[in-house]
A = this chain, B = another copy of it.
């Protein structure tokens, strides 16, 4: 079945192509009679405008690219959903791509986007600057970074939508203090090259120092591989730490899995809180206390700022407060 074109509609309605186009796009003053004719022909023929052809003439393609590290990760799936939801309401079609935390794949996706002439992109960058990313940026298209940033990219040109670790961190640590904990630890994840994780660690240092004193806080600056997980926790215990903050949720998942469940950790006398309110943490018993980044909010806000930029407004970076959700894994000491 061949596609119905605007020509077919014009022929059917007995008027010119340009008039049909105007009628369809609400341009000029078209007589009601003509509008009706067009409407009818469109219905009868099941005409669907070719957005590619349309895009070639107008400046906009009404498509935007969304790049996430991995769509299989529940956190990013939530983010993608929120972004797509917001954009589709504004009439934009979202291309979702997965970089697999891998520059090659990221670049391939960006080049694809570029060749599709997307109107802009929302990106969760990973690692550093890359060729394709540089090219995308040079295009001067609206681009927003969400959840993570890249060193050396000017927040003036690429606004950032990331969460502010402080509020959630502070509340979590206060809760620990209220429950009698005196020494607290932090496991920071693969902090190298991730400004977000670096900032998170800094937030811990600040808040914890204030509440517990510098001599009572302990930080393990890197995440752990399969083997060392129990070791790290043992080490923390041996210096008297009784409550832990996990800065990187995959570490938490691993710890839970390796230590024989949440209870395995608690039974050692270690309370804990994790970043990221992922589904797993809500489903297992006891539920894991978290510092939520409010990812739907991050995504929604990212999309909104993006839409603002499309409208020509000056972009402005935004922070979303993290929120501490008290659940079962921070227990009274002793």
* Chain A residues engaging chain B, CB cutoff 8 angstroms: 1, 3, 46, 48-53, 55-56, 61, 63, 70-72, 74, 77-78, 80-81, 84, 88, 93, 95-98, 108, 111-112, 114-117, 135, 138-140, 253, 256-257, 260-261, 264, 279-280, 282-285
A205 to chain B, nearest CB (A): 30
Q: Which of B63, B116, B284 contacts A283 (CB 8 A)?
A: B284
State how many copies of this chain the complex holds. Answer: 2
Q: Which of B53, B117, B282 contacts A3 (CB 8 A)?
A: B117
Q: Can you give 19 A-B contacts (C-beta < 8 A)?
A: A48-B115, A50-B56, A51-B115, A52-B55, A53-B56, A63-B116, A70-B81, A71-B81, A72-B78, A72-B81, A74-B279, A77-B77, A81-B98, A84-B98, A88-B108, A93-B95, A93-B112, A260-B285, A279-B280
Q: A48-B114, A72-B74, A264-B285 are in contact. List 16 more A-B contacts (CB 8 A).
A: A1-B138, A1-B140, A48-B111, A50-B56, A50-B117, A51-B117, A52-B55, A52-B61, A52-B117, A63-B116, A74-B77, A88-B108, A93-B116, A257-B283, A280-B283, A284-B284
Chain A contact residues: helix, strand, loop or mixed: helix
Provide the residues of chain B in CB contact with A78, threshold 8 Å. 72
A281 to chain B, nearest CB (A): 10
A74 closest partner in B (C-beta):
B74
Q: Which of B51, B77, B257, B264 contacts A116 (CB 8 A)?
A: B51
